Amino acid sequence: MALATACAVIFGTADFFGGLATRRSRVLAVVVCSQLGGMVLVLALLPFLPGVASTGALLWGMAAGVAGGLGIVLFYRGLAAGKMSVVAPITATTAMAVPVLFGLIVGERPSAPAMSGVALGLLAVLLVSREPGGTGRITLGPVLNALASGAGFGGFFILLKLAPADAGLWPLVGARIASIGLVALLALATRRSMRPAPGTWRVTIAAGVLDMAANVLFLLAAQRGMLILVTVLVSLYPASTLLLARYVLGERLSSLQIAGVVSALGAIALIAAS
């Protein structure tokens, strides 16, 4: 489970850099350029982590890329129409719950301590995703967007897990091709610029490289362990994002978010000990 835990830390760091980039640049430009940076990394790693470049590997990866790309689009659409305090926790918990349910359906049976860690992990994600002071009326549209977005992210994890075991990193190549193409088409259809603002290139590329590094760790972890446990550990990544925001940017955490970070640590301990 060390790979999955490291993946969560790196995912959270990638989100932190991505958040810095989107504060100063266009969202779609950040997404496209960061994913191009990630593509460069995975292509560079292919000789060191070789696999069979089969049609199945690329197709499962492309399906995962479409699911993840749609998840991103729906997530931002939900944020535009609703409250962050509603959309984010629903998306995060759905993204974790979908692979957990799939794992149970296909016959994965973690130990009792591990399942306790899964339950604690779900609680942790719900708490750390809460926006401090979030209030306001909940409307159906943003909730449905959040559920669909979470299902897209969860589908990304499931589809990568279903790729052939001997595929190496090729599913991630397929995933990046599909997701970059999807977001680029969206940018062209909406006539949005895909050029990051001046001064944001470094942080944008850093976000993409870290995101791909985390994807590589997830794929390696999923090839070796249960989808349920790997996904739960990986989904705890918002805790590391929060800690970076606290100690690098000086942002204050709410009591619920602090409780979520503590719950995340407890979940990691329970799953690691099982």
Of 274, 273, 271, 212, the closest CA to residue 236 belongs to 271
Label each residue of 174-225 as H, E or C.
HHHHHHHHHHHHHHHHCCCCCCCCCCCHHHHHHHHHHHHHHHHHHHHHHHHC
Q: How many CB atoms lie within 10 A of CB 216?
A: 20
Question: For the chain, what is the domain count?
Answer: 1
Domain assignment present for 158: yes
Beta strands in 105-190, from DSSP E residues, in sequence order:
none
Question: Which among 22, 24, 259 has a CA at the least distance from the CA of 130?
Answer: 259
- Please report whether residue 164 resides in a domain: yes
| Measured distance CA(172)–CA(200) in Å, rounded | 25
Is 91 inside any structural domain?
Answer: yes
Range of the domain at 86: 2-111+138-229
Residue 142: inside a domain? yes
Residue with tokens 């895909």: 194
In tens digits, the chain (274 residues) has pLDDT values of 788 889 989 988 887 887 777 777 777 778 788 888 999 999 999 999 888 989 999 999 999 999 988 887 777 676 656 566 667 778 888 888 899 999 999 999 888 989 999 999 888 888 887 766 655 555 667 778 888 988 998 999 999 999 998 999 999 999 999 988 888 888 788 887 777 778 888 888 988 899 899 999 999 999 888 999 999 898 888 788 888 888 887 878 888 888 888 998 899 888 877 6
Q: Is residue 241 part of a domain?
A: no
pTM here? 0.85
Residue 45: inside a domain = yes
Looking at the domain assignment, is residue 252 inside a domain?
A: no
Which residues does 156 contact at the CB level (< 8 Å), separation at least 6? 64, 65, 67, 68, 71, 175
